[in-house]
Amino acid sequence: MREFTVAAGEAGQRLDKYLKRLLPAAESSFLYRMLRKKNITRNGAKADGAEHVEEGDVIRLFFSEETFFKFAGQTGEERQKAADDLAAYEKARKRLFGMRIVFETEDVCVLYKPAGILSQKAGAADLTANEWFVGTLLAAGKVTERSLSSFTPSVANRLDRNTEGLLLAGKTLKGSRLLSRCLRERTIQKNYQMAVCGVLEHEGLVESYLVKDEKTNTVRLFAAPREGAVPIRTRLTKGPVSKSGKYSLVEADLITGKTHQLRAQLAFLGHPILGDPKYGNAGANRALHLPRQLLVCSRVVFPVLPEEPSLSGRTVEIPLPSAYTRVLGE
């Protein structure tokens, strides 16, 4: 007999899905047959597989050791991948300096990501905020190596490598599903602060049309619709102006979220983001000695969520980094 206790990160999924992750080589028909015969039980009782498991549920498998290892076994390639993943989680936790958890509930985290770190993998060898997050939960004992085989916590959205600020991450299956739904429905407000050339003349909703060039990983904007272009929308608010009047801060609420949207849209409006190497003003960047773009996701606001009182209507915010206030003194 084998006994497993459902961890927090595994809760919320159907029992048959939990069993399939526990016994990946087993056919569904075999699992349902074992459930009918009470060779698999939940909390000592018969189950049909459609139940949703909860944290602390005890799942017992009345199998021979030979049967268990037959259906739970991994190939050598799968075992190596799992070992490589664990090594990457620990390496990211130790090497990605500046990453931190800003806010946390049982199911969701809001992370701070410094500029220069990828949110999620672009290549197999990348160490990203995603690996840091899992490594940090492992080190704190909030997930285990075994629980990762049935659910892996992950970052739910992305920031460009050189954009700093707040990232959303699901600690549990429940949290990941909640964030996915809110992001899909665009009910989470993400607020950005930027230091730009000049002073914004027109506040409010800005609409443009974006075409992405996959070969150069750049985008072009147009004022009117055209073939192949997708509409983008941003709400802009004017902020403080520098002493010289050459620079200012701009606050943005993303209504759509496309590649390089803010960087390209501010440049299209004649107010490129300071420090931006792709769409920015090279002369201003050199004059201010800026090694990176001054673009930060500084605030997220969760919608009203009656089912999640710890998150409902919650605002999570970080102070404006010193580089932005320094520009105002210029």
Between CA 278 and CA 289, with CA 283 as vertex, the angle to 5 degrees is 90
Catalytic (active site) residue 84: no
Catalytic residue, from 160, 213, 253, 276: name it: 160
Which are the catalytic amino acids?
160
